């Protein structure tokens, strides 16, 4: 197009905002896609390409490599790229394909989360946010991504269900129309929640994302029962495990995956979910479909699930075969043989944590927290303490206790919990207590909490006896140190 002006990549790179317009380059053309942004089938994700050359962005998302896309793009052409820059683009970006281009924009992320990593996105909910509502709002719910958020074209999306040799498929609409919907309120907790507190001088440091207490949330999940879907294809009890595979795959096509025992899949409450808190799943939480395995560690609730396989074998994914296993404490540098001797974690254990008072700073770094008591009348001032507890495996929380003297004496907390059927207590418990100011020391002091489930399982007082190099399943008493600022 000789009639059009020539723009360099430096010029293109300046157009990445609404004010300046969204420009991009492709081959020998320069395009202003501002007017197209609203119409892009993949939504706002297209903005990630602004200021850049498309070559690299399209390399992996082959869905774009069809003629009509080039035709659409040609309508937005505003100029030419100087000769030479096209080759440079293709070459320079060959190796830096941004797998994360479909990760969503995360509104108010720093307000709600302590962000542990950006790519992949790993963010835990701040403690005070956790206890401010019984259902964790979607945008405040922790995100644990091992890879990028995958691109999904819902019109082409298919869920495959099979036994490893042959498979049936269901579209998104099929799944919603053909099966009865079912809603479950359930907590979801990462097996690595509270990992950071497992680091200690005596035993060494642990490997993995250093979560404080916020890799947990509680939501209403709506979907169809996994058992109904398996049953409709005659796959119920046709293998010992049910494997799930996600759409998030690395460049060598290894995808996130996990499995659960068939016995668990027979439960009425394991879902192929499409809604969270009555809204369509967001891309960070698995849109369009995710598995929800209540009572089980988060790692088995596979997001972006597009394949379900009934098999006599567990999933052979890294996250089932290595990782998410409680290795013996003698192992400090795990090898595959060590993992092979140890079972994959399934059910969660009994857990609780103090979430209020809390600092706005990263909880792992706060040594002594200064707090002001509440109440107008100085004589009747109290200190409120709040937190969450969860039984794991469907076991309801029986009680939560607070101690100000490292476990010699205990105060019983008040519980907010749902009435749930026996062994199906999937939702968490919120708890609170109010301690009169006159009962509190003026010097810095420790508060610990611990929960007990209906089978009297309780939490260990320290991580020493449960230490493992991957830092998983830490449910030791949670402790914070306070100084009253009267
Ligand atoms: N599913 C896929 N496909 N990819 C993932 O990285 N992370 C798992 C699980 N499902 C993961 C996944 C882990 S370890 C946890 S704790 C939960 O999703 C987190 O779910 P959330 O991000 O919705 O809170
Ligand atoms: Mo996790």
Q: Is 346 a domain residue?
A: no
Domain end call among 42, 73, 97 = 97
Domain end call among 340, 368, 401 = 340
The complex's ipTM? 1.00
In three-state form (DSSP H/G/I as H, E/B as E, the rest C), the secondary structure along 356-387 is ECCCCCCCCCCCCEEECCECCCHHHCEEEEEE
Verify that 226 and 174 share a domain, yes or no: yes
Q: Is 208 a domain residue?
A: yes
Q: Which of 422, 373, 374, 433 is nearest to 398 (CA)?
A: 422
Catalytic pick among 57, 190, 249, 255? 190
Q: Is 206 a domain residue?
A: yes
Establish whether 300 is a catalytic residue.
Answer: no
Verify that 452 and 355 share a domain, yes or no: yes
Q: How many domains does the chain have?
A: 3
Ligand 1 pocket test: which of 280, 303, 307, 324 has the largest number of ligand atoms within 8 Å of its C-beta?
303
Q: Are 49 and 34 contacting, i.e. CB atoms less than 8 angstroms apart?
A: no
Q: Domain range for residue 447?
A: 351-484
Verify that 21 and 117 share a domain, yes or no: no
Q: Is 198 a domain residue?
A: yes
C-alpha of 372 from chain center: 33
Q: Which of 119, 149, 193 is nearest to 303 (CA)?
A: 149
| Atom number of ligand 1 nearest to Cα 144 | 22
Cα 476 to ligand 1 centre (Å): 23
Cα 136 to ligand 2 centre (Å): 17
Establish whether 40 is a catalytic residue.
Answer: yes
Establish whether 324 is a catalytic residue.
Answer: yes
Verify that 142 and 58 share a domain, yes or no: no
Catalytic pick among 64, 146, 220, 240? 64
Q: Is 103 a domain residue?
A: no
Cα 461 to ligand 2 centre (Å): 23
Domain end call among 97, 132, 150 = 97
Which pTM value belongs to this model? 0.82
| Atom number of ligand 1 nearest to Cα 319 | 14
* Residue given tokens 């644990």 in the structure block: 144
Establish whether 449 is a catalytic residue.
Answer: no
Among protein residues, the one whose CA lies closest to atom 22 of ligand 1: 143
Per-residue pLDDT of the chain (486 residues; tens, 9 = 90+): 778 999 999 999 999 888 889 998 888 899 998 887 776 655 566 777 788 888 766 544 444 545 566 777 888 899 999 988 887 777 665 555 678 889 999 989 999 999 999 989 999 999 999 999 999 999 999 999 999 999 999 999 999 999 999 999 999 999 999 999 999 999 999 999 999 999 999 999 999 999 999 999 999 999 999 999 999 999 999 999 999 999 999 876 789 999 999 999 999 999 999 999 999 999 999 999 999 999 999 999 999 999 999 999 999 999 999 899 999 999 998 888 899 999 999 999 999 999 999 988 999 999 999 998 777 777 788 999 999 999 999 999 999 999 999 999 999 999 999 999 999 999 999 999 999 998 999 999 999 999 999 999 999 999 999 999 999 999 999 999 999 987
C-alpha of 36 from chain center: 31
| Atom number of ligand 1 nearest to Cα 217 | 24
State the Cα–Cα distance between residues 48 and 453, nearest whole angstrom. Answer: 47
Verify that 390 and 248 share a domain, yes or no: no
User: Ligand 1 pocket: which residues have CB below 6 Å?
Assistant: 141-146, 188, 190, 246, 248, 256, 285, 298-299, 301-304
Alpha carbon of 359 to those of 39, 363, 371, 476, 482: distances in Å?
42, 7, 9, 21, 11
CATH for 60: 3.10.120.10
**For residue 94, what is the DSSP state?**
T
Verify that 114 and 259 share a domain, yes or no: yes
Q: How does strand 429-436 pair with strand 382-390? A: antiparallel
Residues ≥6 apart with Cβ < 8 Å to 4: 30, 77, 78, 79, 80
State the Cα–Cα distance between residues 82 and 7, nearest whole angstrom. Answer: 7
Q: Is 221 a domain residue?
A: yes
**Core vs surface per residue 83-104: b (16+ CB within 10 A) or e:** eebbeebeeebeeebbbebbbe
| Atom number of ligand 1 nearest to Cα 147 | 6
Q: Is 80 a domain residue?
A: yes
Cα 356 to ligand 1 centre (Å): 26
Q: Is 365 a domain residue?
A: yes
Establish whether 64 is a catalytic residue.
Answer: yes
Cα 297 to ligand 1 centre (Å): 10
State the Cα–Cα distance between residues 78 and 468, nearest whole angstrom. Answer: 59
């Amino acid at each position: 197009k000789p009639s059009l002006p020539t723009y360099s990549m430096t010029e293109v790179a300046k157009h990445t905002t609404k004010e300046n317009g969204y420009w991009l380059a492709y081959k020998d053309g320069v395009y202003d896609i501002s007017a197209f942004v609203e119409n892009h089938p993949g939504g706002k994700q297209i903005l990630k390409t602004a200021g850049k050359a498309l070559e690299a962005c399209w390399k992996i998302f082959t869905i774009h490599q069809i003629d009509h896309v080039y035709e659409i793009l040609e309508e937005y052409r505003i100029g030419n790229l100087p000769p030479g820059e096209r080759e440079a683009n293709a070459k320079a970006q060959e190796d830096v394909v941004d797998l994360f281009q479909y990760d969503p924009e995360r509104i108010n992320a720093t307000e709600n989360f302590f962000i542990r990593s950006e790519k992949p996105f790993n963010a835990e909910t701040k403690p005070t946010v956790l206890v401010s509502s019984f259902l964790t709002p979607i945008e405040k719910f922790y995100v644990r991504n091992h890879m990028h958020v995958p691109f999904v074209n819902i019109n082409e999306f298919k869920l495959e269900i099979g036994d490893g040799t042959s498979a049936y498929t269901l579209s998104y609409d099929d799944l919603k129309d053909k099966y009865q919907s079912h809603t479950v309120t359930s907590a979801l907790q990462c097996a690595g929640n509270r990992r950071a507190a497992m680091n200690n001088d005596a035993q060494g440091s642990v490997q993995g994302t250093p979560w404080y207490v916020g890799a947990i949330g509680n939501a209403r999940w709506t979907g169809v029962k996994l058992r109904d879907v398996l049953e409709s294809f005659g796959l119920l009890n046709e293998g010992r495990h049910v494997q799930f595979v996600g759409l998030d795959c690395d460049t060598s096509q290894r995808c996130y995956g996990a499995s659960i025992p068939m016995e668990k899949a027979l439960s009425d409450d394991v879902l192929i979910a499409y809604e969270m808190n009555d809204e369509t799943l967001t891309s960070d939480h698995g849109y369009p479909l995710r598995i929800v395995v209540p009572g089980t560690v988060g790692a088995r609730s596979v997001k972006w699930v597009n394949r379900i396989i009934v098999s006599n074998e567990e999933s052979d994914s890294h996250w089932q075969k290595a990782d998410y296993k409680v290795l013996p404490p003698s192992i400090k540098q795990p090898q595959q043989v060590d993992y092979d001797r140890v079972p994959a974690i399934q059910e969660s254990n009994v857990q609780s944590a103090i979430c209020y008072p809390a600092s706005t700073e990263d909880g792992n770094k706060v040594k002594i927290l200064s707090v002001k008591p509440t109440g107008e009348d100085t004589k009747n001032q109290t200190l409120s303490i709040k937190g969450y507890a969860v039984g794991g495996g469907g076991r309801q929380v029986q009680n939560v206790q607070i101690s100000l003297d490292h476990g010699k004496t205990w105060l019983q907390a008040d519980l907010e919990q749902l009435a749930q059927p026996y062994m199906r207590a999937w939702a968490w418990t919120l708890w609170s207590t109010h301690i009169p100011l006159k009962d509190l020391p003026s010097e810095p002091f420790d508060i610990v909490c611990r929960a007990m489930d209906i089978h009297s399982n309780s939490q260990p007082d320290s991580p020493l006896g449960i230490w493992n190099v991957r830092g998983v399943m830490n449910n030791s008493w949670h402790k914070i140190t306070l100084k009253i600022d009267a």
